[in-house]
Amino acid sequence: MTGKPRVWVSRPTFPEIIARLDEHFAVTSEPQEVRFSPAELAARLADQDAAIVGLKEHIGAAEIAGATRLRIVANLGVGYDNLDVAALTAAGVAVSNTADVLNESVADYAWAMLLGAARRIGAAERWLRAGHWHATEFTGWLGMDVRGRTLGILGMGRIGQAIARRAVGFGMDVIYHNRSPLPASLEHACQARYVDKPQLLAASDFLVLVLPLTAQSRHAIGAPELAQMKPTAVLVNVARGGIVDDAALAAALASGGLAAAALDVFEREPQVHPALLALDNVLLSPHIASASHATRRAMTALAVDNVLALFGHGPHAGRPPTILNPTVLVAAGAVPHP
């Protein structure tokens, strides 16, 4: 095939940013959000040289089997549990994510959810809109204070650290658990202390989940873990559905085992467990933690930069800035061994 290499963009994004590809590529952008079947994905990818995809595109060996020209899959997200990186690497396909550009927006949003759940903002707004506000009850709508409480963070990557830094303003004691402790300088910057997972569960007044979804982290918070938490605690998940067992969480929230939760992500998105929908002590949102004007644009620009760079264009030519499997570059002779 002659002509420009082809890029498929699986969802509507920001046309003026995608247009940066036009000089070097023939670009096809999907005009609306579609949930593609594996066969449809395989058909879309078959004649592409690059793809910019979102979290609903699950891509592994089967989806790229016929995509012999494909050189990069650029994910519009820092999490990449939708991509089988091992299979893509084995096929010589580069994979990139949108690390770092969304840290601060997601940290802001985690705090919005934490405060919203603590002060029952979602339920109070529903009640007001339903026309129930006839008198201001002095003892009504009581919520929890955050000042001086213990903030627990499970997963202390750069988003977890950004969440911890904000806790200083709330005078909180910050503890965290991670695969390994942070270097002392980072712990100091975050004013955070490493604890083991049982200690984290037992001591947190507010527990925020910011870890990636992997085979090991699936149901990291299930019935046994929820039983170790304080009945007064609040759970916040801005990471991935599947880290929490949604049915077990709903049971804990309904029985008084846990005071409240705030969830931006769910096991079967876009479906939400009906038992969660029936509860007033859980604040729910449709996976929007990174959805600020600036950050969604920055994520799109970073995906574009990765594609341009892989094909030798732009300021990062030859070195896609957030590539997850750089060995494919070495294998393809694109960059010398480090």
Q: How far is the CB of 237 from ligand 8YV (least distance, A)?
A: 11
Q: Give, in degrees to the nearest 5, the angle at Cα 270 between 275 and 117.
A: 55
Q: Which residues, at least 6 apart from 87, have a Cβ–Cβ distance to it below 8 Å?
A: 60, 61, 64
What's the CA gap between 154 and 201, in Å, rounded?
Answer: 9
Q: How far is residue 26 from each of residues 39, 111, 336, measured CA to CA in Å?
A: 23, 41, 29
Q: Which of 17, 93, 101, 102 binds ligand 8YV (CB under 6 A)?
A: 102
Scan for tokens 């030798």, then name that residue: 312
Q: How far is residue 130 from each of residues 144, 152, 274, 277, measured CA to CA in Å?
A: 24, 35, 21, 17
Q: Is 77 an interacting residue with respect to ligand 8YV (CB under 6 A)?
A: yes
Residues with a catalytic annotation lie at: 240, 269, 287
Q: Which residues, at least 6 apart from 128, have a Cβ–Cβ distance to it below 8 Å?
A: none
Q: Which of 14, 47, 60, 79 binds ligand 8YV (CB under 6 A)?
A: 79
Q: How far is the CB of 96 from ligand 8YV (least distance, A)?
A: 12
Q: Among residues 54 and 222, whose Cβ is nearest to ligand 8YV? A: 54
Q: Which of 18, 50, 76, 263 binds ligand 8YV (CB under 6 A)?
A: 76
Q: Is 69 an interacting residue with respect to ligand 8YV (CB under 6 A)?
A: no
Q: Is 55 an interacting residue with respect to ligand 8YV (CB under 6 A)?
A: yes
Burial class (CB in 10 A: 0-12, 13-18, 19+), 175: buried
Q: How far is the CB of 91 from ligand 8YV (least distance, A)?
A: 23
State the number of binding residues for ligand 8YV (CB under 6 A): 9
With CB atoms as reference, the residue minimizing the distance to ligand 8YV is 77
The secondary structure element, H or E, covering residue 164 is helix 158-167
Q: Is 290 an interacting residue with respect to ligand 8YV (CB under 6 A)?
A: yes
Q: How far is the CB of 33 from ligand 8YV (least distance, A)?
A: 10
Residues within the interface to ligand 8YV (CB under 6 A): 54-55, 76-79, 102, 287, 290
